[in-house]
């Protein structure tokens, strides 16, 4: 049998030799990796009523307070919760904390790019509340505000959950807040995909001005370790979220992950604006280069305001390819994309890619069955991690 470490090394060298255009991934700096694999990775901490149930925690106590302060600083929030071990756990804690059984939420439907976890069979089923869809105009990638106001009148949900997994345009939060206030609804923003762009103030910079709580993953456009984060200016909301953590949505938090998150927050504080601006401009350039090379990208001429652009599944099918087949053709040439038709530029931006418009024609060639492995390898060889010391 192969040693496990051989599998790990194989993975590392495979990924180091490929161009990663996956929308949900990013890379950690050397310093963040060091924190993640430190002694903290196997230690316990369980903070109950401000005392830790474990000894040996003097530095983890200091760490937690410092990383919370950094998170507040980077997001301009009064309160931060950094212990949630994933975006989904952050969502669970927020929903559990804010909604009681038989109350309702509204969220963007899966078919419009919303997160599956908010569909009736998942978190709503677990916690016993009802989930309804927010009317959405797919062509414009906008909430249909007139229909939304009508549906709000019927449902008056306790909570509106904004944010999407297929996410190319920020919302008109001022209007959504106005409607929510008419019905006394809270607004949560699941920024999982765009937390790094929000940190760099290049996507929905007004989120905490209009929404009651912001949460999401720390490893998509936010280039930290896998985990979740919750931010709010409202102390009662933070108290409710914190009461939904220990023994409900999780037990111990992962200290080494919080340490690595802290390192990434320091990096984001220093370089976030430049990084996020480059991510957005690279996304547009890459989308245009794909479109001009014959890959069907939606939403021309603006394509996207985020880190991802979206392929058109019908047009791709007419060319004889499913998203899965498209992904496999690219991977055979050293380019990695997901199997859902999303193309991302966050990781390659962090790796300092120059002239990203070179990539569109290579993808198109690979899609048609061509061999562009050498050209891809050359681009990969130019990359090295940026936006860190």
Ligand X SMILES: *Cc1c(COP(=O)(O)O)cnc(C)c1O
Question: Which residues have a Cβ under 8 Å from the Cβ of 315 and sit 6 or more positions away?
Answer: 296
Rounded to the nearest 5°, which phi and psi values hold at 194? -115, 15
Interface segment toward ligand X; rule CB under 6 A; list 10-18, 97-105, 163-171, 300-308: 163-171
Instruction: List the beta bridge partners of residue 190.
Output: 215
Q: How far is the CB of 197 from ligand X (least distance, A)?
A: 13
- Token digits of residue 194: 């765009």
Shortest distance, position 219 Cβ to ligand X, whole Å: 7
Structure-block tokens of residue 32: 């963040």
- Which CB, 268 or 376, lies closer to ligand X? 268
Site map 193..222 versus ligand X, x via CB under 6 A: x-----------------------x-----
Greatest alpha-carbon span in the chain: 63
Does residue 165 touch ligand X according to CB under 6 A?
A: yes
Query: Residue 133 forms beta bridges with which residues?
Result: 107
Distance, in Å, from the CA atom of 130 to the CA atom of 7, rounded to the nearest integer, reads 44
Choice between 148 and 166, CB closer to ligand X: 166
**Judged by CB under 6 A, which of 163, 196, 262, 296 binds ligand X?**
163
**d(Cα 12, Cα 152) in Å, to the nearest integer?**
49
Distances (CA, A) of 351 to 213, 345, 354, 388: 31, 10, 9, 11
Task: Give residues 111-150 in contact with ligand X (rule: CB under 6 A).
Answer: 115, 117
Q: Which is nearer to ligand X, 115 or 303 (CB)?
A: 115
In the complex, the smallest distance separating the C-beta of residue 116 from ligand X, rounded to whole angstroms, is 9
Of the pair 89, 351, the CB lying nearest ligand X is at: 89
For residues 36 and 372, which CB has a smaller minimum distance to ligand X in the complex? 36
Q: In this complex, which beta carbon is closest to ligand X, that of residue 221 or of residue 349?
A: 221
Residue (177 or 257) nearer to ligand X, CB:
257
Which of 68, 190, 212, 266 is the binder for ligand X (CB under 6 A)? Answer: 190
Q: 118 vs 271, which CB is nearer to ligand X?
A: 118
- Segment interacting with ligand X, rule: CB under 6 A, options 95-103, 187-195, 362-370, 376-384: 187-195
* 225 touches ligand X by CB under 6 A: no
Tokens coding 20: 């990663």
Question: Judged by CB under 6 A, how many residues of this single chain contact ligand X?
Answer: 15
Binders of ligand X among 51-110, rule CB under 6 A?
86-88, 91
Residues 207, 70: contact at Cβ < 8 Å? no
User: Which of 220, 235, 212 is CA-nearest to residue 164?
Assistant: 220
Residues of this chain that bind ligand X (CB under 6 A): 24, 86-88, 91, 115, 117, 163-165, 190, 192-193, 217, 228
């Amino acid at each position: 049998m192969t040693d496990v470490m051989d599998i790990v090394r194989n993975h590392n060298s495979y990924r180091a030799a490929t161009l990663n255009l996956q929308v949900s991934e990013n890379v950690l700096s050397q310093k963040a990796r060091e924190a993640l694999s430190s002694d903290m990775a196997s230690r316990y901490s369980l903070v109950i009523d401000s005392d830790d149930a474990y000894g040996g925690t003097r530095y983890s106590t200091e760490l937690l307070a410092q990383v919370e302060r950094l998170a507040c600083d980077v997001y301009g929030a009064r309160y931060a919760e950094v212990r949630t071990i994933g975006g989904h756990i952050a969502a669970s804690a927020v929903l559990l904390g804010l909604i009681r059984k038989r109350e309702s939420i509204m969220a963007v439907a899966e078919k419009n790019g919303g997160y599956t976890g908010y569909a009736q069979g998942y978190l709503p089923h677990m916690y016993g509340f009802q989930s309804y869809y927010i009317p959405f105009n797919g062509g414009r990638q906008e909430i249909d505000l007139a229909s939304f106001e009508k549906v709000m009148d019927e449902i008056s949900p306790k909570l509106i959950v904004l944010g999407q997994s297929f996410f190319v345009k920020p919302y008109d939060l001022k209007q959504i807040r106005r409607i929510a206030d008419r019905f006394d609804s809270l607004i949560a923003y699941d920024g999982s995909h765009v937390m790094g762009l929000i940190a760099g103030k290049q996507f929905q910079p007004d989120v905490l001005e209009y929404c009651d709580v912001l949460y999401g993953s720390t490893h998509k456009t936010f280039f930290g370790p896998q985990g979740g984060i919750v931010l709010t200016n409202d102390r009662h909301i933070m108290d409710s979220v914190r009461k939904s953590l220990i023994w409900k949505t999780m037990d111990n938090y992962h200290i080494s992950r919080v340490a690595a998150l802290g390192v990434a927050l320091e990096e984001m504080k220093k370089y976030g604006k430049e990084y996020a601006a480059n991510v957005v401009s690279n996304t547009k350039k890459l989308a245009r280069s794909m479109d001009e090379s014959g890959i069907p990208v939606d939403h021309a001429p603006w394509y996207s305001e985020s880190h991802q652009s979206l392929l058109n599944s019908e047009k791709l099918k007419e060319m004889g390819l499913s998203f899965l087949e498209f992904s496999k053709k690219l991977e055979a040439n050293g380019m990695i994309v997901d199997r859902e038709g999303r193309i991302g530029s966050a990781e390659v931006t962090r790796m300092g890619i120059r002239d990203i418009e070179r990539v569109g024609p290579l993808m198109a060639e690979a899609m048609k069955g061509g061999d562009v492995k050498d050209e891809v390898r050359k681009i990969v060889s130019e990359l090295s991690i940026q936006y860190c010391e």
